[in-house]
């Protein structure tokens, strides 16, 4: 299956933590005017609830993520929740 370019650069939150090379977690990602779930892979394990940024699409509803801190959140002082 082809990669899903629309999801790259989108943010979300982990519903299930990732395990690094040991396996994926699950992310709820804001994309296409709503939210969708994807299998989420990361180089390092990330905990459930971590905010993430999608950096690559593997196709088949699988994405690669990194932990993300919204730079605008620091200006507003309020957390940004996915969903």
Percent of the chain with pLDDT over 70: 90
- With CA atoms as reference, report the closest residue to 50 among 7, 12, 19, 8: 12
Q: Which domains does the chain carry? A: 5-69 (2.40.50.140)
Which of left, alpha, beta for 5 (phi over 0: left; psi -120 to 50: alpha)?
alpha
Distance CA 74, CA 67 (A): 16
Please, what is the Cα angle at 82 between 43 and 38, to 5 degrees? Answer: 50
- Please give the residue that has the higher pLDDT: either 10 or 72: 10
Backbone torsions φ then ψ of 8, nearest 5 degrees? -65, 130
Look up residue 57 and give its two tokens. Answer: 């699409």
Q: Read off the pTM.
A: 0.84
* Mean pLDDT for the stretch of residues 30-43: 97
Give the pLDDT band (50/70/90) at residue 1.
low
Check residue 74 and give its pLDDT: 75
3-class DSSP string for 37-58: EEEEECCCCECCCCEEEEEEEE
């Amino acid at each position: 299956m082809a990669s899903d370019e629309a999801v790259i650069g989108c943010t979300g939150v982990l519903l299930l933590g990732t395990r690094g090379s040991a396996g994926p977690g699950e992310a709820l990602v804001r994309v296409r005017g709503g939210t969708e779930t994807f299998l989420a892979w990361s180089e390092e394990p990330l905990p459930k609830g971590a905010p993430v940024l999608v950096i690559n699409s593997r196709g088949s509803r699988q994405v690669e993520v990194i932990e993300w801190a919204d730079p605008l959140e620091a200006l507003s002082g309020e957390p940004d929740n996915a969903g």
